[in-house]
Amino acid sequence: MHRLVAASVMAAGLLSSLCLPSRAAPFNPDIEPDWIKWTQLTKALGPSPSVRGHRFGVVLKTQTNEYWRLMAAGYRRRAAAGGAKVDIQAAQSETDQLRQLSILHTMIGSGYKALMISPISAVNLKSALEEVKAARIPIVNVDGAVADEVRHFVGPVNRDMGVEVAKWFIRHYPAGGKVAVIEGQAGVLSTVHRTAGFIETLLATGKFEVAATPSGQWDRQIASDAAKAVVTRTPDLIGFYCNNDTMALGVVDALKSLQALDRVRVFGSDGTAVAYASIRAGELTGTVDIFPMMVGEIGLEIAERLSAGQSVPRVVETPQVLVTRENIARYGADEEARRRALIEDAREK
């Protein structure tokens, strides 16, 4: 359904810069027709090949953010279960593009069966990816920015995250109101589409107004400073949607300092443990949990299949669930409880 919606938006010209099928336009996983859901992999493709003793390389954005640490744990979990090995490296921060490029360059000649990358930007790994292609090494873009040079992408539908948060506001504020978005890194696909899903869904009701969309650059302090400025000039603001949990917690910090947390709702995206703790504490209103451990596991599964020569759809859509104070009892116990609840819910759809 999300692909049909995005296609109609593209036709209207609102997302044409992202979706036109030209060389200059970036690959957009949200509307790619060659896709499969994570729940259908085994049914459609059969069991995963044996990878015992095989080595795989992973380049993350950073491990200073809990989301990427959880993804790394997912890689290790699947590798251990299958008897494989994963070498996981990352830049020092989510802005250290040159370091991430250097890491990928060094991995190319290391004999890995396949590589998995989570780019900081759509272009920072370009020169190394050209080498990967020449070396015929299977490679998977696992969340992060989307690199055109990589054939396969594993990750959530970013637009749907914003849509789900918008639906929450529509249900809880039937009269509408003023909202704001704290965006991630400018120009990154996840930033663009999470924000677009949220804003376009709300504006379609004719009842909501978007007061501001400053960038928090994935950083807690920058997001906090931006939120203070927004609330100061928009005292009747009812809520924020933040493109990740780190920035959402920065907004919570700002609202506490302004004594406004009781009247302004705050949502993030990622599903980190600190976000869950904040929801339980009655601070953060909710997060779109995109199950980063499972993203890592699914990413390695696709790398395994590609390394064995299997044909895999270009996009593998991973799970996501809006977790709020209202349903956290179902998803908030621990990783295994969330996994069981998610699989149960997926079977019912």
Residues in the chain: 349
Same domain, 78 and 217: no
Whether 146 and 166 map to the same domain: the answer is no
Q: How many domains does the chain have?
A: 3
In a domain? residue 39: no
- Residue 217's nearest CA partner among 252, 254, 191 is 191
pLDDT of 7:
39
Do the domain assignments include residue 38?
Answer: no
Q: Please indicate, yes or no, whether residues 204 and 334 belong to a single structural domain of this protein.
A: yes
Same domain, 231 and 338: yes
Considering the domain architecture, whether residues 277 and 187 belong to the same structural domain is answered as yes
Sign of torsion, CA 36 39 40 45?
positive
> How much is the pTM?
0.86
pLDDT of residue 151: 95
The enclosing domain of 343 has a CATH number of 3.40.50.2300
- Identify whether 268 is part of a domain: yes
Non-local CB neighbours of 31 within 8 Å, separated by 6+ positions: 2, 3, 6, 7, 10, 19
Number of Cβ within 10 Å of residue 40's Cβ equals: 12
The widest CA-to-CA distance across the chain, in whole angstroms, is 59
Q: Are residues 101 and 84 in the same domain?
A: yes
Q: Which residues pair with 178 in a beta bridge?
A: 209, 237
Are 28 and 128 found together in one domain?
A: no
pLDDT of 268: 98
Q: 279 Cβ partners below 8 Å, 6+ apart?
A: 285, 286, 287, 323, 324, 325, 328, 332
Residue ranges making up the domain that contains 123 = 45-151+294-311
Question: Mean pLDDT of successive 10-residue segments in the chain (349 residues)?
Answer: 43 34 66 94 96 98 92 98 98 93 96 97 95 97 94 95 98 98 91 96 98 96 98 98 97 98 97 94 96 96 97 96 93 80 71
